[in-house]
Amino acid sequence: MIACFALTLSACGEEAKPATQVNYEQRLEFLTTHPYEFTCGDERHVNRYGKRAYFALADDAQIPNLNRLRAAHSIFYAVTEVCKGKPDSYKPAREAVAGVRKGIYRAALGSETIVP
């Protein structure tokens, strides 16, 4: 009876498993080929992933009237805005690209001025 009670307690009081270590190179390669899997956590904690993911999204989206550089910068801006208040697991890419397509998020490059 005591052994059974001890087993029950250990199962109920199980400690949370530690976070899995993510291999930077593997995650970067994955996000380069699957940019819509980019998460707010990727942006907040390892923003080095972003640059390649943003260009991959820009290449996929082919947003009219935006060159690749401006599209990638606009998507970066959109992701940072979309991720505000969202959990690390949220995938902002589709929402961000849609916002750039609608003109909600546009990055100005150089001396260019954007008039809303």
If phi > 0 it is left, if psi is from -120 to 50 it is alpha, else beta; for residue 53 that is alpha
pTM over 0.95: no
pLDDT band at 39 (very low <50, low <70, confident <90, very high): very high
How many Å apart are CA 27 and CA 31, to the nearest integer?
Answer: 6
Residue 85 has pLDDT above 50, yes or no: yes
Domain spans of the chain?
24-101
Q: What is the mean pLDDT of residues 46-56?
A: 82
Q: Give the gyration radius of the chain's Cα atoms.
A: 20
